[in-house]
Structure 1
Amino acid sequence: MSDQREPALPGGAPDLVEQRADGLRADCANCFALCCVAPAFAASADFAIDKPAGRACPNLRSDDFGCGVHTRLRDIGFSGCTVYDCFGAGQKVAQVTYAGQDWRRAPHTAKQMFRVFPIMRDLHELLRYLHEAQCLAAARPVHDQLRVAYLDTERLTLGEPAELLRIDVGALRHQLNPLLLRASELVRAGVPGKKKDRRGADLIGARLKGADLRGANLRGAYLIGADLRTADLRFADVIGADFRDADLRGADLTDALYLVQSQLDAAKGDLRTTLPAAFTRPGHWGT
């Protein structure tokens, strides 16, 4: 099967920011540790403690916005922190929405900032998917629609805090999902053979070793603890799929659609696991 991704985005954005992935990656140095404060944690296998929303994690350093146990998170029961991805929303809120005014030095901003952050995070996640879809050569018939959707969503991220708080992200997801799905369908149509449709399926602990899942629809599938050793996931649509503790040793995820780094970080793998070029092999994976 020929490469269905283009080396660059089709066309140029007429206004706003350049459509590049750089701004959709977390830049913790330019954030105010919003992911360590805004969300609530519940004591579980992923978090060692309970933490209410809006309260700083006790591991957050008081002299800066760094994590005091960053190198030991998995070892001391905070694996949930290692798989979190804000898609660049943290630095957008910190440096654009609040123009560098942090919640410690300006405590009157804290409550509102912590409410804005999860909305911005959801918007940036949508931008991440829209950006990828525009890089898919086979999705060319919907590139123009994707470009408009990207720019419209980007405009939302540049709003004032009060405007951001009024956004119905659920409605926006519902509006954009058919377009993202259409892009996926156009790509997967080029995969030979019958494609499996396991959208939203309960595949927790499923035995899928060596399974042929090329071009499969795995959107929102529950693959927690699934055995996917040596499975072929090329061009599978994995948007929203839950890969927590899934065994991806030897699996082929080349050109998996809408794959994000946090999905890999939550899974198990090894040096035989084939990843798309833009992804980083998680440090906890085996050899």
Structure 2
Amino acid sequence: MSSKANKVNKALDEAIPLQNPIKLHESMRYSLLGGGKRVRPILCLAACELVGGDEANAIPIACAIEMIHTMSLIHDDLPCMDNDDLRRGQPTNHKVFGEETAILAGDALLALAFEHVASKSTNVSPDRVLRVIVELSSGIGSKGVVAGQIVDICSEGKEISLDELEYIHVHKTSKLLEAAIVCGAIMGGGDEIEVEKLRKYGRCIGLLFQVVDDILDVTKSSNELGKTAGKDMASNKATYPKLMGLERAKEFAIELVGKAMEELSYFDALRAAPLFRLAEYIAYRQN
């Protein structure tokens, strides 16, 4: 993870040089380069290599995914959304640069993501580039992240079912993780069966990521998390521990890991090892 994250960080730094308008690019770089585990781009690179591809071909889409993820965090932290002051142990973007700049920085990152993958993916066929752009667009639009976010906002303070909670998190969190893995497999030249197996794997670990987030929110401090702890409880949001109970939520996380591993059993065990380990990392992370 460290090796892959270093490659992604270098590529991200090069993708957004400090240029005019200075304040806008400072804001973009502040959130994009200010830490983070780089789980999504790393999953993208691992999926590319699993199907026999060259990771260099997946670097542009991996960077694009991290730009989009960063945009979603900047906007999610805004006062009109989750109204958070802390992200990755640092003040949120709007606290440093102001709400107007934070919104525009997020918009700019979203636009740059698609420009970057289209212009930098020079060693793969145009068909693959088009497929990943469609996949990514679908994962973040009104059938993906945005859908999960609006339903999440509309559900605050209300009693919702487990099915409704799953809808929120499959869309708000899982879709982008799923897209990262599928895009990596496409860029690596994966066949239809391989891509579908990895899509199901991605869906499982995407939901797992959110279940673990919910658990950590009620079991860890703000200092340990690097963001405000207990925020969901304070805003009366539905979470897996709230609807299931903490112990059942932990059991559900283990079940999701098992389902993800089942999908990987189709592949050569040695080549799939990084994705096995990444699933375990997501399940047992502490922040």
TM (norm. structure 2) is 0.29
TM (norm. structure 1) is 0.29
- Structure with higher Rg: it is 1
| Structure number with higher helix proportion | 2
